Each structure stands twice: as structure tokens, then as C-alpha cells.
Amino acid sequence: MKAAPVLRALAGRGARQTLVHTGQHYDANMSDVFFTELGMAAPDVNLEVGSGSHAAQTAEVMMRIERELIERKPDLVLVYGDVNSTMAAALVCSKLSIRVGHVEAGLRSFDRTMPEEINRLVTDQLADVLFTPSEDGDANLRREGVAGEKIHRVGNVMIDTLVRLLPAAEKMNGMPDRYALVTLHRPSNVDSGERLRRIFRALQQIGKEVEVVFPVHPRTRQRLLENGMGDGGGLRLLGPLPYIEFLALQKQATVVITDSGGVQEETTFLQVPCLTLRTTTERPVTVSMGSNVLVGEDLERLKTEAARVLSGQGKRGGIPALWDGRAAERVAAVVMKG
């Protein structure tokens, strides 16, 4: 979702590009279908890394991408977001003296228990060009000693994809009239059986007031099965969804309950009330300006905030500057300057 608009913008400027899919996300509904929906050609390279511990996955990406980089000798490697693949590719590039551009740089949760925070910190120290989505990203990078000439605030490339595909999403039918949409996948919420059971019970309580639609991440599905939890109590559990279908659900939702960074951003753009089951967020602009409310680990607060939204008092917020569907064009303009 982040790479597609940048690939398109660079192609429009005549750039020669190679797309490397690390295979870190390998579920068909969470990977293959995205290429079709986003109008992307198949990857030129698929490293087929698959799952594993953080160390094993990072090491596999590093070993497999090194061969491609040595063979292809790129002028610049663009890495996206904050997954293990992002940091692994940046680290290999820095060892090979290949320039790195980080798209979605500067985001910080200030919580180093999150693996993604480590990935963000390391990648931004190694990157040669840093593309930030919002003003707080610039400030974080300057505070960490990143030279100002490396920092380029371009806006949010994920919103480019949302804007492009929203018309298709708005044509989809079959959604309930009123519902809460749920996504959960972070270890802090799903790896502890007791924590997951408490969240599930809270969702069932909310389900007494409004239907709860829950597309379940494969990781979360496994944890639910291990703990004997399934449909019922106002909850409708679905499999992972293609992007356009999920976007349609977000657009029409009465409230979204999530622990996803990307969903916090998308609901802010859509101005749909969002309740985030985390104590911190690397996207504070979604709270200070957007429709996001951090409820932390307090499930009583989750239920209270959900009731507030259902009574028509939900937070709508505004849309941050440069979240306008043209961020990728700004990235491409910087890249092609060299």
C-alpha cells in the first residue's frame, strides 16, 4: 500500500526500478491479492523469507537481499515503514555503501518494548534520505541528530493509496447499517491468553449494543483457537480481507477498534472515530488532530469510549497537512533530483 503509489510516480518520471518482495507477509489475502488490487506488477524478486523469530527473520532478509544488491548495484534502495524487512534492508545497504531512502521516517512511539520502534530507530540512523509523513517526524529526527538536509516532509503515501481506491470501496454493498470494526494483531494484545480473553469479553459487551465485525489476522486467529474463542456475543469473525473490502468496512464503520498504526492513519483521513488499544502511538498526529483516541490497556475505558461514539459523541477530528493523495509525487521529485 505504501510502495504502490511511489512505484507509479517514479515510473512516470522514467526511473528504472526493481521491486523486491521479502516474503515477510506471506498469507495470500495479506500479500498476493494486494498486488492485483493496487495495480502492481508481480515483484521482480521474492525472497520468500516467511515467518520466524525477529532475529531469524531479520537475518534471512539480510542474507537473501545482499545477493540481489550485489548483483543489481542500485543507486538507491527505498524501504518502507517499520517491519523487520525495513531495518534488515537498510542495514545491508549501509554495509554495501548503497544509498537508502526511508519512506515513513521519523515516527516514534518512545516505547522500545515494541520491535517496530527498534526498526524505526535503526533505519532512520542509517538512511540517507528520510521522507516524513508529518511535522512530528521532522522534529523527532532533528532531535536524534539527523541532518536537516536529509529530511523531506512529503505527507503520507498510504493515504495516496486510500484516495485512489476509495471510489471502488464506496461502491461495495452488503455492510451492516451500524457496526464496530475491530483489528488486533500486536503481541501485547494477543499473545497473552488472559489479556486476549479480557479483550474478547469487552468486545462481546460492546456487541450487545452494536454488531462487531472482526477480520482476524492469522496470528490472532491462532491465539483465539488456542484459547477457545470464536463467533458469538455480537461478534462476527472474518478471515483477512483484501484492501478494498477492508477500506469499505472502515469507511462505513460507526467506530473502529484497533492496535494497528496504519488503521489509525486511515480512520483519521476518513474521519471515523478510532479507539486504539495501545498505551502509546508512533502516530500522535492522529490523536492531536485526527479521530483517534488512545484507550491504553483499560478495557473499561474502551467500553466507555465505545458507548460515547455509539451515542453520537465520537471524535471526528481533522486531516493533517499533506495527507492529500500526492505524497508519492513529492517522494519521486526528491528521488529523481539525486
pLDDT digits (tens, 9 = 90+) for 245-263: 999 999 999 999 999 999 9
Please indicate, yes or no, if residue 162 is contained in any of the structural domains: no
Please indicate, yes or no, if residue 318 is contained in any of the structural domains: no
148 and 185 within one domain: no
Which residues partner with 100 through β-bridges? Answer: 77
178 and 127 within one domain: no
CATH number at residue 78: 3.40.50.2000
140 and 193 within one domain: no
Using one digit for the tens of pLDDT, what is the confidence trace for 107-157? 999 999 999 999 999 999 999 999 999 999 999 999 999 999 999 999 999
277 and 246 within one domain: yes
152 and 215 within one domain: no
Euclidean distance between CA atoms 186 and 260, whole angstroms:
8
The model's confidence at residue 338, banded by pLDDT at 50, 70 and 90, is confident
178 and 148 within one domain: no
pTM of the model: 0.93
One-letter amino acid at 232 equals G
Instruction: Report the domain count for the chain.
Output: 2
**How far, CA to CA in Å, does 26 sit from each of 30, 183, 187, 218, 301?**
7, 18, 18, 10, 35
Structural domain of 332: 3-156+323-337
Mean pLDDT (whole number) for 47-64: 93
Nearest to 155 by CA among 265, 247, 248, 78: 265
332 and 243 within one domain: no
The residues annotated as belonging to the active site are 185
One-letter amino acid at 118 equals I
238 and 220 within one domain: yes
Please indicate, yes or no, if residue 63 is contained in any of the structural domains: yes
Q: What is the DSSP-derived secondary structure letter of residue 232?
A: B
307 and 257 within one domain: yes
239 and 98 within one domain: no
102: helix, coil or strand?
strand
181 and 101 within one domain: no
